[in-house]
Amino acid sequence: MAVPTHIPSWYAATANAAPDHPLLQGEHSADVVVLGAGIAGLSTALELAERGYSVMVLEAERVGWGASGRSGGQAIFGYGCDISKIEAQLGYADARKLFDWSVEGVDMIAERIGRYGIECDWTPGHAHAAIKPSHVDELKQWQDDLQERWGYAGTELWNQARLQQELATERYRALLYDPRSGHLHPLNYTLGLAQAAIGAGNSTIPKGRVRIFEGSRVIGIEQGQQIVFRTAQGQARGKFGVVMGNAWLRHLLPQLETRYMPVGTYICASAPLGAERAQALIRNNMAVADINFVLDYFRLSSDQRMLFGGRCSYSSLDPPGLRSRMRQRMVGVFPQLADVAIDYVWGGYLDITMSRAPHWGRIGNSLYFAQGFSGHGIAATGLAGRVIAEAIDGQAARLDIYQRIKHHAFPGGHLFRTPALVLAMMWYRLKDWL
């Protein structure tokens, strides 16, 4: 059976060389079995291997095939929801812990890149952009809250004159710049985590402690004295199981799937701009995202392209005329790119919860999961892997706090929840325009 390939994208076209991993065949066992070879699953495997556990990672397609290898590549503190939503449920003290841990998730990226020698174009610097006057007020209030209530200092609020020293666009009225967050090549980062997990390159993990299987879709999970993950041609047994399938879980655990919705999101890559033209657009090479509900986000690639993300599909269908629409959005921010071709367009699914808060926890005593990254997956997925590995290793204090966050099922079940969400998103898009 041929190993699946990554979807066509600029990331796939510029991916670092990486080995194929075998198909799961026959019966195998390990201390822990992990479903999903994205950042979350591989981070879990790394953290467990560093603690001496043997781990099997089962991937339906290829390492980094899902959101981990397709995303905007922006690593940002916080979660998909405003931290005040978490505070309303957990109180300030525990919400403050979750906020601090989200910052740990960002810092973990540079730490792992350095420790394992991962080549993934890590670049510090990220900004949130205000489009209308009310957005400027939001950014001012957010900066004050970050410093005074959440202890996050160092952000800079730039007015339009200041931001235009770094960003060649008139679309934005203000930027909240954060030098600690940043951006990277997400597929290469994920491939680097896989290499570290199997003991390759600069890894300190003994070879063989982590085994990765590609093209090995899990079709059943059985909970008993051991957790058993069944595929078409084999099965993997472990004392513990970890489910990191997120938007691609596909009817394995209905109790999890009712609490997230897969949302399509899309990115385009321009033709190469050349160093001078690219640098004139974003002089400090930061990543940028506006603060609309349906947002645009963009950054420069290592080979001087504009990587521009936007558009969302809540209906499980790709928008018609996607290439021209993505180009239109890019030119709306940078009219000076009107003559530039689009070389790549791709998309994929991320998983959102009703509240956009993270949904991490356990089912029974031995089956763990993390989902609902809601657009903050580059940093939060790595943190989730660490938190779950700690819990498996007998230190569940952090996971216990995450598990206290209540999550409601999307209304309408599998049949009607998508139309209901589409109607809700139409309202939010209307608010963006006003």
pLDDT at 318: 67
Encoded tokens for 145: 């809250």
Q: In 3D, which of 380, 379, 387 has the Cα closest to residue 361?
A: 387
Alpha helix positions (H), 126-259? 133-148, 160-163, 186-197, 254-257
Closest C-alpha among 412, 42, 394 to residue 242: 42
Q: In terms of residue numbers, what domain contains 346?
A: 122-180+261-352
In a domain, 381, yes or no: no
Q: What is the pTM of this model?
A: 0.94
Distance CA 61, CA 382 (A): 20
Rounded to whole angstroms, the Cα distance separating 53 from 276 reads 49
Residue 162 lies in a domain: yes
Instruction: Find, among 51, 367, 61, 45, the residue nearest to 211 by Cα.
Output: 45
- In-domain check, residue 307: yes
- Position 187 in a domain: no
Per-residue pLDDT at 310: 84
**Which pLDDT belongs to residue 432?**
47
Asked if residue 339 is part of any domain, the answer here is yes
Let me know if residue 190 belongs to a domain. no
User: Does residue 306 fall inside a structural domain?
Assistant: yes
Going by the DSSP 8-state scheme, the letter that residue 159 receives in this structure is E
Strands 367-371 and 234-243: parallel
Q: Is 196 left (phi over 0), alpha (psi -120 to 50) or beta?
A: alpha
What does each of the 434 residues of the chain score in pLDDT, given as a tens digit?
566 899 999 999 999 999 999 999 999 999 999 999 999 999 999 999 999 999 999 999 999 999 999 999 999 999 999 999 999 999 999 999 999 999 999 999 999 999 999 999 999 999 999 999 999 999 999 999 999 999 999 999 999 999 999 999 999 999 999 999 999 999 999 999 999 999 998 899 999 999 999 999 999 999 999 999 999 999 999 999 999 998 888 789 988 888 888 888 999 999 999 999 999 999 999 999 999 877 899 999 999 999 999 866 655 556 778 899 999 999 999 999 999 999 999 998 888 898 999 999 999 999 999 999 988 889 999 999 999 999 999 999 999 999 999 999 887 655 445 554 454 444 344 444 44
The answer to whether residue 169 sits within a structural domain is yes
Amino acid symbol at 355: S
Count: domains in the chain = 1
Give the CATH number for residue 317: 3.30.9.10
